[in-house]
Amino acid sequence: MRKIGFLNSSFVFLGSLVLFFIVAPLVGMVLNTTPGALLETTKDKEVISSVCLTISTAFGATIVSALAVIPLAYLLARKEFFGKRIILGIINLPVVIPHSAAGIAVLGFVSRDTLIGQAAESLGFSFVGNPVGISVAMAFVSVPFLINAARDGFQAVPERLEKAALNLGAKPLRVFFSISLPLAWRSIVYGLIMMFARGMSEFGAVVIIAYHPMITPVLIYERFGSFGLKHAVPVSVFFIAVCLVFFVLLRLLTKERKHA
């Protein structure tokens, strides 16, 4: 039998500690939830409404953002230009700033006294307290995940394939859709999944823009503040289960796409 060296044993031990740190709080929360409380939560109309709102706004933020993000990621992967490093730094800012500060920044961008806010009001709605505003806040904090994943995907596509197609007379747009995009699709889908998941879990930025209508992270906070841990835990467990189902389904779809 092959012996495990000291270094590998140390790494296994440290890795086990990390896994325990991640899994233990989640398992503890599940064990502290009775089946009856969880069943009651699944019948709670406020909880179901908040979950549906969370999923729809996160999905909308992801899809709409992708229309502009994917072309930007391609430019960052393929072109060299003045200020590129600055742009790469700016892209990652939403990840490093406090999310409450991110919410305040977004609020200052879409509030009623701004040009964008006034334009929205002329169309009959306001970003503040609106699902559209929730999607904007979600997109702000999660879009770096999609940009970075898509950029890495385009960088992995051999440029010689694109140049060969161009030399054969293909238009740049056709090269993008027939070569670059299909070959980078795995990374793009991964970025879409991560952006969607990050948007679903956002609290700090969203609560500044819209306390009502409540997405599920805000509802969990409201239940905890108003009724205590006993009423917040079942909603948390239910929402985590929903997130896991969506995450697993999306990963399975991605896996099928890889083998297609």
From CA 104, how far away is CA 204, in angstroms rounded?
Answer: 9
Task: Name the packing angle between helices 185-201 and 131-155 (round to 10°).
Answer: 150
For residue 248, name the pLDDT band (cuts at 50, 70, 90): confident
- The reported pTM is 0.89
pLDDT of residue 4: 64
Token reading at 166? 């161009």
What is the full DSSP assignment across 196-255?
Answer: HHHHHH--HHHHHH-SSSPPHHHHHHHHHHHH-HHHHHHHHHHHHHHHHHHHHHHHHHHH
- Answer with the residue of higher pLDDT: 245 or 239: 239
C-alpha angle 126-132-135 in degrees, rounded to nearest 5: 140
pLDDT at residue 251, rounded to an integer: 73
Q: What is the mean pLDDT of residues 247-255?
A: 75
**Does the residue 26 lie in any domain?**
no
Specify the pLDDT at position 103: 95
Q: What is the pLDDT of residue 3?
A: 61
Rounded to 5 degrees, what angle do the CA atoms 80, 85, 88 make? 105
Q: Which domain holds residue 50?
A: 36-259
Q: How far apart are CA 173 and CA 134, in angstroms?
A: 33
In a domain, 89, yes or no: yes
pLDDT (0 to 100) of residue 260: 43
Confirm whether 8 is domain-assigned: no
pLDDT at 161: 94
State the average pLDDT for the chain. Answer: 91
pLDDT of residue 257: 47
Residue 238, in any domain of the structure: yes
Residue 237 lies in a domain: yes
Which strand (E) or helix (H) includes residue 102? helix 99-110
pLDDT at 135: 97
Nearest to 139 by CA among 214, 216, 59: 59
Residue 258 clears pLDDT 60, i.e. is over it = no
Within a domain: 3: no
Lowest mean pLDDT among 122-126, 175-179, 185-189: 122-126
* pLDDT at residue 254, rounded to an integer: 66
CATH number, residue 232: 1.10.3720.10
The tally of domains found in the chain comes to 1
Q: pLDDT tens digits, residue range 147-175?
A: 999 999 999 999 999 999 999 999 999 99
209-219 pLDDT, tens digit each: 999 999 999 99
Q: How far is CA 20 from CA 25, 187, 234, 239, in A?
A: 9, 29, 22, 21
DSSP state of 157: S
On whether residue 5 sits in a domain, the answer given is no
pLDDT, tens only, 24-67: 999 999 988 888 999 999 999 999 999 999 999 999 999 999 99
Backbone phi and psi for residue 211, each to the nearest 5 degrees, phi listed first: -70, -35
In a domain, 10, yes or no: no
